[in-house]
Amino acid sequence: MISEEIKKSLRRAVGAENVLDSDIDRFGYSYDSSSMPILPAYKPDVVVLPTTAEEVSKVMAIAFAHGIPVTPRGAASNRTGGSVPLEGGIVLSLDRMTKILELDEDNMMVTTEPGVRTIDLYNYCAAKGLFFPPDPASWKVSTIGGNIAENAGGMRAVKYGVVSDYVMALEVVLADGTILNTGGKAIKNVTGYDLKHLFTGSEGTLGIITKATLKLIPMPKQRGTLQIMFKSLDAACATIQKMLQENIVPAAAEVMDKTSLDIVSKKRKVILDPVIESCAIIEIDGEDQDALDAQAKRIEAVASALGAVNFQVAQSQSESDELWAMRRGLSQAVAALAPNRIGEDIAVPRGSFPEVVRRIKKLGEKYDLTIVVYGHAGDGNLHPTVLCDYTDAELMERVHKAIDGIFEAALAVGGTLSGEHGIGISKKPYIVQALGQAGVETMKVIKQALDPKGILNPGKIW
């Protein structure tokens, strides 16, 4: 419990209207978008909504002095329990720090506060012809701070990488309230340890990101969408691999398995040729239409050599939307199938994609569960989704065994636990398996050095 005295000093630090402590508000900041049950609720003692780095610094100084846990929070769109205040204390919600501070067109960089929503930053830069590529599917709601803390990525990762590929400099408030600046606008900045990348992906356990300078690239002038149907999942994956080997790099390459296709076509009331077992949806981009046509032609050659049964190029924006609707409608269509579902997020070497899918399908048979598999085949990031019902204990036991199996399958082929959603609470049990004992110990030493009292987002990652 936080004393009235401490609450008073928090109010002084950020203004009374930016401190919430009613029961209902505390409940509102007890959950995130993970599949953790909402009850019993991990309510924070108090929610603090700062608007400047100085305020964050004051809040951290107070928390540090009294050993109060602090859980940073963006939009709580993470899938792994990362912004759930496991040990109560303060939820530090950064979504009121919403200023984009500078667009440096000469250097092609943008400097922003952490509470800016991903889509807003994208649009802001796009208006100037500059491109901030990381596009988590949650981009309408997620914040840049949350993206950096989770090292988020999206469909375009295959060509453009993840958030850490764009982080140039960070301002971070440390556990004791010290404000640290790391990195800068110089591209060749190799002085000392690379702290900016240490904080990127640290899930709020090492410091609070209060400002970020991000690299931008020129906006591709043209985009195109292709849809290719295959008789097997292997053929779809092989096509994407072959494309990459031939240096045709798609902006996005999504693959859906047979179950996914069945679900979407049922929902959208389309009948698919029964020979079709998988589908790839590919986005290409380039300087002009000729460049796109050339790419599409090469992709078609690769795909047909590998036995594609249907190849379609969107001729207009609406056709492209239509093709993407297949993929976008998936998550919603899957959600309608069962009372609950657990969507996982493993990443494997691209070459192992079909093998992992096969293993996952076997798990589905073994435990008598429906597991839908889709994902970003271009970068080996899969989202196996297990349909379930939280109220059915026997079923849930099988679900958890299957999920253990999914992680084992990922690790067995040299993959990892998370492609984009982080570790948070839900994947903690697997962390040693993924990083090795030495890896985890090294991280713990870093954590101990930066957060000696263990107040920053306690209970996460390990």
List of residues contacting ligand FAD (CB under 6 A): 32-33, 71-79, 82-83, 94, 114, 136-138, 142-143, 145-147, 149-150, 152-154, 203-204, 208-209, 420-422, 457
State the binding partner of 421 from other proteins, ligand FAD, none, CB within 5 to 8 A by kind: ligand FAD
Rg (CA), the chain: 23
Q: Per CB under 8 A, does 124 bind other proteins?
A: no
Q: Of the listed pieces 26-34, 204-212, 280-288, 354-362, which binds other proteins according to CB under 8 A?
A: 26-34
- Per rule CB under 8 A, is residue 39 in the interface with other proteins? yes
Assigned token pair, 115? 């509470």
Q: Which of the choices ligand FAD, other proteins, none does residue 336 contact, using the CB cut-off of 5 to 8 A by kind?
A: other proteins
Angle of CA points 330, 336, 338, to nearest 5°: 115
The one-letter amino acid code at 401 reads: K
- Binding mask 140-169 toward other proteins (x if CB under 8 A, else -) reads xxx---------------------------
> Is residue 38 a contact residue for other proteins (CB under 8 A)?
yes
Say whether residue 32 binds other proteins (CB under 8 A): yes
Residue 313 identity (one-letter amino acid): V
Task: Rule CB under 8 A: say whether 138 interacts with other proteins.
Answer: yes
Least distance from other proteins to the Cβ atom of residue 141, Å: 4
Our CB check for other proteins shows the closer of 75 and 235 to be: 75
Work out the widest C-alpha separation in the chain, in whole angstroms: 72
Question: Which of the ranges 16-24, 164-172, 199-207, 407-415 carries the binding residues for other proteins, by CB under 8 A?
Answer: 16-24
User: How many whole angstroms separate alpha carbon 446 and alpha carbon 206?
Assistant: 8
The neighbour count for residue 274, using CB atoms within 10 Å, is 6
Calpha distance 78→83 (Å, rounded): 7
* Start-to-end CA span in the chain (Å): 24
Neighbour count for residue 328 (Cβ, 10 Å): 15
Answer with the entry of other proteins, ligand FAD, none that 332 interacts with (C-beta below 5 to 8 A by kind).
other proteins
Residue 342 Cβ, how far from ligand FAD at the closest point, in Å?
13
Which segment (37-45, 123-131, 163-171, 180-188) binds other proteins by CB under 8 A? 37-45
Shortest distance in whole angstroms from residue 417 CB to other proteins: 21
Stretch that binds other proteins, among 25-33, 63-71, 219-227, 254-262 (CB under 8 A): 25-33
Q: Which residues pair with 413 in a beta bridge?
A: none
Residue 322 binding target from ligand FAD, other proteins, none, CB below 5 to 8 Å by type: none
The number of helices, as runs of H, and strands, as runs of E, in the chain is 14, 19
Residue spans of beta strands (DSSP E) within 287-356: 310-313, 340-343, 346-347
**Under 8 Å between Cβ of 138 and 236:** no
CA dist list (Å): 146 to 169, 208, 226, 363, 452: 16, 10, 31, 33, 23
At residue 179, what are phi and psi to the nearest 5 degrees?
-100, 125
The entry of ligand FAD, other proteins, none that residue 55 binds, CB within 5 to 8 Å by partner kind: none
Q: Of 328 and 401, which has the nearer Cβ to other proteins?
A: 328
Residue tagged 């100084």 (tokens): 61
Q: Find the binding residues for other proteins in span 53-82 (CB under 8 A).
A: 75-77
Touching other proteins, residues 303-362 (CB under 8 A)? 331-332, 335-336, 339
CB 384 within 8 A of CB 345: no
Burial 426-435 (b: 16+ CB within 10 A, else e): bbbebbeebb
The smaller minimum CB distance to ligand FAD, of residues 289 and 332, is found at: 332
Nearest approach in angstroms of CB 316 to ligand FAD is: 26
Grouping H, G, I as helix, E, B as strand and the rest as coil, residue 256 is strand
In the complex, minimum distance from the CB of residue 354 to other proteins, in angstroms, rounded to a whole number: 28
d(CA 84, CA 206): 16
395 or 461, CB closer to ligand FAD?
461
Q: What share of the chain is helix, strand, coil (3-state, %, to 5)?
A: 40, 20, 40
**CB contact at 8 A, 204 and 173:** no
CB of 335 to other proteins, least distance (A): 6
Nearer to other proteins among residue 112 and residue 352 (C-beta): 112
Contact residues for other proteins (CB under 8 A)?
20, 22-25, 27-29, 31-34, 38-41, 75-77, 95-96, 117, 138, 140-142, 331-332, 335-336, 339
